[in-house]
Structure 1
Amino acid sequence: MKKLPMFLGEALDRLSDDDVIKSSMPGEMYPLYHWYKRDEWEKFLATTSNWDIETYMDCLP
């Protein structure tokens, strides 16, 4: 049994390989969903959190 994905990016990768789920989304629903969620994931990865700032700000020159 496969483990559930821990991150949105991994879930999107698995979804892109699942023809059964993709075929259940009519018309342009899957490509649009995938585009928006991939964009969301990339924006999340590019965001600096308060934790990042508090942890690493003292390390910067």
Structure 2
Amino acid sequence: MRKNRIKERRKAQTITLKELSEKLKEKGLSFNDSQLYYYEQGKRSPRNEDIWEALAEIFD
């Protein structure tokens, strides 16, 4: 699995996993904090490609 920059981008914007989860919910995607944590750590990868698009929008 490739390394992603989710944690780096989240920390740069100083938002918590909970806040990121809320922003994703606003975009119609439901993820809990633990799922996002696993994505940050590279232990899992989202099956839904829409999350990558939503994260790109959130992080510019």
Q: Tell me the TM-score range normalised by the shorter chain.
A: under 0.3
TM-score of the aligned structures, taking structure 1 as reference length = 0.27
Who wins on radius of gyration, i.e. which is larger?
Answer: 1
Q: Which has the higher contact order (CA 8 A, sep 6+)?
A: 2
